Structure 1
Amino acid sequence: MIIKIELPKGIMKGSATLGKLSITLDKAQADYLVTHTDYVPACLSTVATTLSEFVETLVEQLRTNNKERIRETYACAMNRFLQFRGGHDIALDAIGSQEVEAFESHLKQAGLTLNTVSFYMRVLRAIYNKAVRQLSITDKRPFDRVFTGYPRTPKRAVDVETITLVAGYRTTNADEALARDLFLFSFYTRGMSFVDIANLRRCDIRNGHLIYKRSKTGQELQVAWRPEMQTIVDRHPSLDGDHLLGVLNNDATLKLRRQYQQQQSKVNYHLKRLSMRLGLSKPLTMYVARHSWATIARGMDIPVSVISDSLGHHSEKTTQIYLKSIDADVIDRANEKLIAAVENNG
């Protein structure tokens, strides 16, 4: 009888005394069968597993599970951290608050926005926490004194007049026309994200509704199919007979993920140029379409709960982040009316 035991990567790199290994065999079977193992190596907590080794393991798992977006964020954060360290790797149990705070300071000095700095901190913290759980290293809580929140961003929404201006703009080339129409399509579909638009299938239109699942949350949403949406589909038909819009192509040699990245960059580039031509005070992006839909809906006194459901948010708290600046404007206008009323009575 041969019993094969696989040990975690890195355990046998050096000489170490393994902890107790107990195996319970079920003798009632014709052949011996391992039914339980209780393996707790004493040296596990002191194994010098490095950040890059651990991230490589996580990245491979994510690749197997087709979680490309998370895989890319893990790799991106690790590469940025190693770049800060001059390319030198670091043992996971050596990561402390001093190292993390120095990295945060480095990112700020490089001119990155607070939101971007927080992004790197959150991703690295997620990696570190996984290492604490999976490798039983001591949690030094190195991220307690760095910013990992979500800073308030400037208002991204535009008003109805701007949306109308964009809709009536006469584009100068096919790429600009696609960018403009995808922006409008997002607005018409209650702020659908670019990744969801790009991945729509023709079969997603059923019984007069566009039915799709959000890539971010997996939540299913339904949007009544409108003539304005169909007009955009007619202008940019499927390239492969499968996708709804001519954004991604199954028949192309380039992988869909790479096609998506190129198209996203191209769309945002042309939206920025379109903003300049229209003389807008802020550049248009696909995210602006989403914020604008929420803002305009709130201005029409649509309840926050309805807006939250329409956007596919699991919590109204997320929707309130979108609407915080709107509520401030409403309060300011109300205050102006109150002041005017006092002055008129004076």
Structure 2
Amino acid sequence: MRMLRAIYNKAVMAGLARFVFNLFHDVFTGIDRNHKKALDESNLKEILTGEVKSLALKRVQLMAAAMYRLCGMPFVDLQHLSLNSVVDGVLKYNRQKTGNSVNIPINRDSCNLIKHLHLSNIDLSTESGYRHYQSLLRNFNAGLKRLADTLGVTVHISSYTFRHSWATNALRHHVPVEVISSALGHSDIRTTQIYLKGFDAAEIGKANSKVCKCLNVK
């Protein structure tokens, strides 16, 4: 609904649609902060490293692994990835969605993984290129569902799962939110905070114990 509202607003500005006052007034166009898109570490490990025999599912698994290892890279940016953008061990690219520049250190294993995937650059500015990309995205999400079913993972996953999972796990390993935001290519740290899955009471309790320990307070 947020996307539909944005498209409608652009159409109004371009004179392609009639302005209707408060058209989206009674429609929820916010973000459900209770909807958890990140996988826990056990399910994530199974999806990325579980044994599969199908070559098609193995490719889906490798693409998911590449997205996660490249700091939660979106599927669309993965499709435009080129190793020619690697300079002195740093992958430099601009996000397709926002144009924001992102710099990610990349090791030999990640480079080999990208080479193995044989990704082809897609021109989204053309109708045929956009349709081809949408087909790739649909097939990838369908492949993720089959991969999850094959590995016995019952939670819903999609192309964005690995982006949310990377951000959440980075926070759990005490990576500053500012660093996470930069790695994701966000312009506003508030966008990053929407991605981050909340901590449960047990984790908060552990953190509180550590903070209070310095004062000898139990």
Instruction: Provide the rounded CA distance (Å) in 1 between the counterparts of 2:43 and 2:11.
Output: 42
Instruction: Provide the rounded CA distance (Å) in 2 between the counterparts of 1:184 and 1:210.
Output: 16
Match of 1:212, SS? strand
Match of 2:66, SS? helix
Q: Do structure 1's residue 221 and structure 2's residue 82 form an aligned pair?
A: no
Sequence identity (%): 28
Contact 1:248–1:260 (8 Å) recurs in 2: no
Contact 2:39–2:165 (8 Å) recurs in 1: yes
Matches within 5 A, 1:248-327: 248=121, 255-323=128-196, 325-327=197-199
Alpha-carbon offset, residue 286 of structure 1 = 1.9
Matches within 5 A, 1:165-180: 165-180=46-61
Residues 49-74 of structure 1, C-alpha deviations (whole Å, 9 max, x = no match): xxxxxxxxxxxxxxxxxxxxxxxxxx
Output the amino acid matched with 1:214.
Answer: R
For residues 334 and 228 of structure 1, do their structure 2 counterparts lie closer, same or farther at Cα, with a shift above 3 Å needed? same
- From 7, 32, 40, the equivalent of 1:151 is 32
- From 116, 122, 125, the equivalent of 1:235 is 116
Instruction: Provide the rounded CA distance (Å) in 2 between the counterparts of 1:266 and 1:140.
Output: 38
- Compute the TM-score of the two structures, normalised by the length of structure 1: 0.52
Matches within 5 A, 1:32-111: none
Match of 2:111, SS? helix
Alpha-carbon offset, residue 306 of structure 1 = 1.1
Contact 2:66–2:114 (8 Å) recurs in 1: no
Instruction: Provide the rounded CA distance (Å) in 2 between the counterparts of 1:337 and 1:194.
Output: 34
Gaps of 5+ in 2: 209-218
Alpha-carbon offset, residue 179 of structure 1 = 1.1
Match of 2:92, SS? strand
Instruction: Provide the rounded CA distance (Å) in 2 between the counterparts of 1:182 and 1:153.
Output: 27
Contact 2:89–2:105 (8 Å) recurs in 1: yes
For residues 182 and 125 of structure 1, do their structure 2 counterparts lie closer, same or farther at Cα, with a shift above 3 Å needed? same
1:204 is aligned to 85
Aligned residues: 204
- Compute the TM-score of the two structures, normalised by the length of structure 2: 0.80
Match of 1:211, SS? strand
Instruction: Provide the rounded CA distance (Å) in 1 between the counterparts of 2:122 and 2:167.
Output: 31
1:163 is aligned to 44
Deviates more, 1:293-302 or 1:272-281: 272-281
Instruction: Provide the rounded CA distance (Å) in 2 between the counterparts of 1:326 and 1:264.
Output: 28
Matches within 5 A, 1:110-189: 117-128=1-12, 130=13, 140-152=21-33, 154-189=35-70
* Alignment RMSD (CA, Å): 2.9
Structure with larger RCO (C-alpha < 8 A, sep 6+): 2
For residues 139 and 262 of structure 1, do their structure 2 counterparts lie closer, same or farther at Cα, with a shift above 3 Å needed? closer
Instruction: Provide the rounded CA distance (Å) in 2 between the counterparts of 1:281 and 1:200.
Output: 31
Match of 2:131, SS? helix
1:44 is aligned to none
Alpha-carbon offset, residue 118 of structure 1 = 4.5
1:195 is aligned to 76
